[in-house]
Amino acid sequence: MKRWPTKTLGDVLELSRERIEPVEHPDMLFNYIGLESIEGHSGNLVPYSPTRGAEIKSTKNVFHRNEILYGKLRPYLNKVYIAGYDGICSTDIYVFRPREHQIHPSFAAYYLRSPFVLSVVSNAMAGANLPRIGQNALLAIPVPVPPLAEQERIVELLDEADELRKLRAQAGRRTAALLPGIFHEMFGDPVANPKNWPVKPLGELCELINGAPFKPSDWDGSGLPIVRIQNLNDSTKPFNFSSKQLAEKFRVRSGDILLSWSGTPGTSFGCFRWKGPEGWLNQHIFNVKLKVGFDGDFFIQSVNARLNELIARAHGGVGLQHVTKGTLNAVEMLIPPLPLQKAFAASVTQIRELEVNQAASRRRLDELFRSMLHRAFNGEL
């Protein structure tokens, strides 16, 4: 183990206080990054488009190339990004400027994403409903500071390991894109219906059972988990629990088909096969009870293939949409022969098995990367 000088983050990072009012520049296009734009743990950005100043209503932080963006709201989400260009960001994000000749930007960013920092900030959060990490608490965290040449060597090794993780994640996204292609090849566009399949309204094919409303006072930490919109696409996200006793129709079990009618398109808005634990279903999600003669996997892909159409009929703002039960029940669904539906379901099974193997590989690479982070900042790499 190498012995390196230890400083605080405040010794090597400077907090930027540069601000801007985008509405004062209504026609300017800004590279605007919200907290939701930064992926947790990975340091990657979710794809986005430049935003006109007129559409950005409040004060924003300004950042520049090679500055570090750190999500201070819910810091356990571990959202850290090195800017590759100039732009603006939410005030829920700290902007740090690495002090010259003190610390390499990537070395600092990797350290901020490290398990040690994650553990410290998770224990130092303040605020019950919207937990944050204060700048004084964050900047007081100790950081090992090897010579810059050593920092660069460590960054190169971590970059190589991180690239493997990114390639595996890219392979996973390509696998997920297979199902829509297979669906369109077998059945055609579900709106245009070029193969002239029979159609029926969705409401004749299933019953949509809405979840139960829960108040924060119902989250008592015991009983069954509450399946909320944020859990649909990732059943590993934290649950709230409730011991409230509800009717059996609100119970959700692994394998159920869940249809979110409110949420963000592309993430929580859509149809899902529930893979998580048994629990209570929250409102804004329907439990789909299919009638005999319709395959579940075919139904899920049929609904998701029409998301653009449903979003066009949705109500709400830019980020949050909701579709009424009446609108959903009126959607005309293709009814190809059941054997063909089953053939599609067999393809779904094969792809899901591939996804399971890819997920296991991603977990192994993530564990290796976390181990390398730990060793890197302990002088063992």
Question: CA dist 372 to 62, 162, 273, Å?
Answer: 32, 10, 35
| Residue spans in the chain of domains classed CATH 1.10.287 | 146-197+339-381
Give CA angle at 168 (157, 347), nearest 5°. 170
Rg (C-alpha) for the chain, rounded Å, is 24
Q: What separation, in Å, do the N-terminal and C-terminal C-alpha atoms of the chain show? A: 9
Q: Over 70: is that where the pLDDT of 321 sits?
A: no
Mean pLDDT of 356-380: 87
CATH class given for the domain over 199-335? alpha beta
Q: What is the pLDDT of residue 317?
A: 47
pLDDT digits (tens, 9 = 90+) for 113-152: 999 999 999 999 888 778 999 999 999 999 999 999 999 9
Q: Over 80: is that where the pLDDT of 350 sits?
A: yes
CATH number of 7-143: 3.90.220.20
Q: What is the pLDDT of residue 319?
A: 47
CATH number among 1.10.10, 1.10.8, 1.10.287, 1.20.120, domain 146-197+339-381: 1.10.287
Q: What is the pTM of this model?
A: 0.67
b/e burial code for range 259-280 (CB count within 10 A of at least 16 → b)? bbbbbbbeebbbbbebebeebb
Pick left, alpha or beta for residue 213 (phi over 0 → left; psi -120 to 50 → alpha; otherwise beta). beta
pLDDT digits (tens, 9 = 90+) for 138-189: 999 999 999 999 999 999 999 999 898 888 888 888 888 888 899 999 999 9
pLDDT, averaged across the chain:
89
**307 vs 239, residue with greater confidence:** 239
Q: Over 60: is that where the pLDDT of 43 sits?
A: yes
Q: What is the pLDDT of residue 140?
A: 96
Q: Over 80: is that where the pLDDT of 361 sits?
A: yes
| Residue spans in the chain of domains classed CATH 3.90.220.20 | 7-143, 199-335
Residue 87: both structure tokens together: 């732009």
Cβ neighbours around 36 below 10 Å, total: 15
Q: Over 70: is that where the pLDDT of 313 sits?
A: no
Separation between Cα atoms, residue 108 and residue 352, nearest integer Å: 38
Cβ neighbours around 151 below 10 Å, total: 23
pLDDT digits (tens, 9 = 90+) for 10-32: 999 999 999 999 999 999 999 99
Separation between Cα atoms, residue 220 and residue 226, nearest integer Å: 11
Contact 271, 304 (CB under 8 A): yes
Q: Over 80: is that where the pLDDT of 325 sits?
A: yes
pLDDT digits (tens, 9 = 90+) for 250-292: 999 999 999 988 765 555 678 899 989 999 999 889 999 998 8
**31 vs 315, residue with greater confidence:** 31
Contact 227, 300 (CB under 8 A): no
Residues 6+ apart with CB under 8 A from 281: 209, 211, 212, 227, 250, 251, 252, 258, 287
Question: CA dist 30 to 23, 51, 76, 255, 322, Å?
Answer: 11, 5, 28, 43, 28
pLDDT digits (tens, 9 = 90+) for 284-302: 899 999 988 889 999 999 9
Mean pLDDT of 181-207: 93
Mean pLDDT of 34-59: 90
Q: Over 70: is that where the pLDDT of 311 sits?
A: no
Q: What is the pLDDT of residue 6?
A: 94
Least confident range of 95-99, 230-234, 298-302, 345-349: 230-234
